[in-house]
Chains A and B, each alone.
Chain A
Amino acid sequence: MISVSQVSKSYGSGPTAVRALDDVTLSVARGEIFGVVGQSGAGKSTLIRTINSLELPDSGSVKVDGREMTTLSGAALREARHNIGMIFQHFNLLSSRTVQANVELSLEITGAGRAARRTRALEILELVGLHGKASAYPAQLSGGQKQRVGIARALASNPSVLVSDEATSALDPETTRQILDLIRKLSKDLGLTVLLITHEMDVVKRICDSAAVMSGGRILEQGPVEQLLTTEKSLLGQALFPMGEIPETPSAIVDITFSGVKTDRPVLAQLARKHGIDVGILGAAVETVRGLQTGRTRLELPGDERTVAAAVADLRSQGLFVEVVK
Chain B
Amino acid sequence: MIDRNDPYFWSDLLDTILKGAGETFYTVGLSLLFTVLFGLAAGVLLVTTESGGLLAKLFGSRALGLTVNRVLDVVVNIGRSVPFIILMILLIPFTRLLVGSFIGPTAAIVPLTIAGIPFFARLVEIGIREVPVGLVEAAQSLGASRWTILTKVMVAEAVPALALGLSTTVVGLIGYSAMVGAVGGGGLGDVAFRYGYQRYSPEYMFGVVILLVLLVQVFQSLGNFAARRLSHR
Q: Is B141 a contact of A105 with CB atoms below 8 Å?
A: no
From known contacts A96-B157, A139-B233, infer whether A88 and B143 are also in contact, taking CB-CB under 8 Å.
no
On chain B, the number of residues with a Cβ less than 8 Å from chain A's Cβ atoms is 22
For chain A, the bracket of interface size reads 20 to 34
Say which residue of A78, A94, A137 sits within 8 Å of B143 (CB atoms): A78
Q: Is B138 a contact of A92 with CB atoms below 8 Å?
A: yes
From known contacts A54-B137, A137-B232, infer whether A94 and B142 are also in contact, taking CB-CB under 8 Å.
no
Say which residue of B141, B230, B232 sits within 8 Å of A81 (CB atoms): B141
From known contacts A92-B135, A95-B157, infer whether A109 and B142 are also in contact, taking CB-CB under 8 Å.
yes
Q: Is B140 a contact of A54 with CB atoms below 8 Å?
A: yes
Please encode chain B, from 127 to 147, with 1 for each CB lying within 8 Å of some chain A CB and 0 for all others: 000001011011111111100
Q: Could you tell me the distance in whole angstroms from the C-beta of A112 to the nearest C-beta in chain B?
A: 12
Contacts of A90 in B (CB 8 A): 132, 134
From known contacts A137-B232, A139-B232, infer whether A52 and B148 are also in contact, taking CB-CB under 8 Å.
no
Say which residue of A82, A92, A106, A139 sits within 8 Å of B137 (CB atoms): A92
Contacts of B140 in A (CB 8 A): 54, 81
Residue of A nearest to B134 (CB): A92
Q: Is A54 a contact of B141 with CB atoms below 8 Å?
A: yes
Counting chain B CB atoms within 10 Å of each CB, the highest count among A79, A84, A95, A106 belongs to A95
Q: Could you tell me the distance in whole angstroms from the C-beta of A84 to the nearest C-beta in chain B?
A: 7
Q: Is A109 a contact of B135 with CB atoms below 8 Å?
A: no
Q: Is B132 a contact of A92 with CB atoms below 8 Å?
A: yes
Whether A153 is near chain B, meaning CB under 8 Å from some CB there, is: yes
Say which residue of A79, A96, A154 sits within 8 Å of B232 (CB atoms): A96
CA distance A105 to B139 in the complex (A): 8
Contacts of A79 in B (CB 8 A): 143
CA distance A94 to B152 in the complex (A): 9
Q: Is A95 a contact of B138 with CB atoms below 8 Å?
A: no
Please encode chain A, from 159 to 200, with 1 for each CB lying within 8 Å of some chain B CB and 0 for all others: 000000000000000000000000000000000000000000
Besides A81-B142, A97-B156, 12 other A-B contacts (C-beta < 8 A): A77-B143, A78-B143, A86-B141, A88-B137, A90-B134, A93-B135, A94-B156, A95-B157, A105-B142, A110-B143, A137-B232, A138-B232
Chain A residues engaging chain B, CB cutoff 8 angstroms: 52, 54, 77-82, 84-86, 88, 90, 92-97, 105-106, 108-110, 137-139, 153-154, 157
Instruction: Pick 10 A–B contacts, CB within 8 A, sort by A.
Output: A54-B141, A88-B134, A92-B134, A92-B135, A95-B157, A95-B232, A97-B156, A109-B139, A109-B148, A110-B143
